[in-house]
Amino acid sequence: MAPTKQKLPPCSKILSTSRAEDSEGAKPSRITDRLTTATLLRLWELAPPKIDLHNVKLGFRRADDVSYSDLDDCRSIVKHTSYDDYKNSSHGWNEKHKMREMEDPNMLYILVRSADGSDATFAPSLPTNILGFISFMVAKDDPPYEDVDVVYIYEVHVGDQMRGKGLGSWLVHVAEHAAEMAGIPKTMLTVFTSNEAAMGLYRHLGYRKDDASPEGRRVRGRVIQPDYLILSKLGGGNGGAFSGRLDYA
């Protein structure tokens, strides 16, 4: 939530950098101390998507450890998959703001790349070897729970060749697992109402409309519905083991 307590569009994902830095508890080390690339490999083996692990490489990084080239590729991926949703929303697409958001030092990334020697790319028109990624950070919930930590998922994107194989679900589950390992019981995200596929996936994974989600506005006798929703999900928050029976869509 921004300092003004204003409901913000998905580009800013509700939570500002200053809000994340205000609390000792909202430091990325709560997760980075527990989640490593080796952990990702174990989680993949425990509940693998329908993808041969030999065809991909997994990586977990803080934003300040991600190369500018990779961050720029991630920005290009967001633009490739979501530009129309942003452009057609009430807030539009702001490329500079998006890049600043992605460079936030509190932001955490899980990158799924094509294996060495593979020519697989995110899309024919986007020749990056990043086939999918998720970004998230530890931040604060909205009032009256502003003292409560949450893990806020900012981006989930899966390339053309990886879709329908459970990779998006796996990435979300890993973020949820990271939250539980850090003792954080709640994950949140923002989704455009125009993105029906994402809306369906998140609801399938147990996400529901959060109290912080904006309501419709009555204007001149009619109700204008918001073009995005804030969804959330409560977990155990006790660092429980990664389930071997994850629910893939």
Q: Where do the domains of the chain lie?
A: 17-186
The identity of residue 183, as a single letter, is G
- Please report which helix (H) or strand (E) contains residue 37, including its range: helix 37-46
Cβ neighbours around 232 below 10 Å, total: 21
- Please report which helix (H) or strand (E) contains residue 70, including its range: helix 68-87
Round to whole Å and give the CA distance between 31 and 39: 12
**What's the pTM value of the predicted model, to 2 decimals?**
0.84
| Residue given tokens 């030092």 in the structure block | 105
Third-level CATH fold of 17-186: Aminopeptidase (3.40.630)
- pLDDT tens string, the chain, 249 residues long: the values are 332 233 344 443 433 333 344 444 456 788 988 899 899 999 999 889 999 999 999 999 999 999 999 999 999 999 999 999 999 888 899 999 999 999 999 999 999 999 999 999 999 999 999 999 999 999 999 888 888 999 999 999 999 999 999 999 999 999 999 999 999 999 999 999 999 999 999 999 999 999 999 886 666 667 666 889 999 999 854 444 455 444 544
Q: 171 near 35, Cβ under 8 Å?
A: no
Which residues are within 8 A (CB) of 150 and not within 5 positions of it... i.e. 6 or more apart? 138, 139, 140, 141, 179, 184, 186, 187, 188, 232
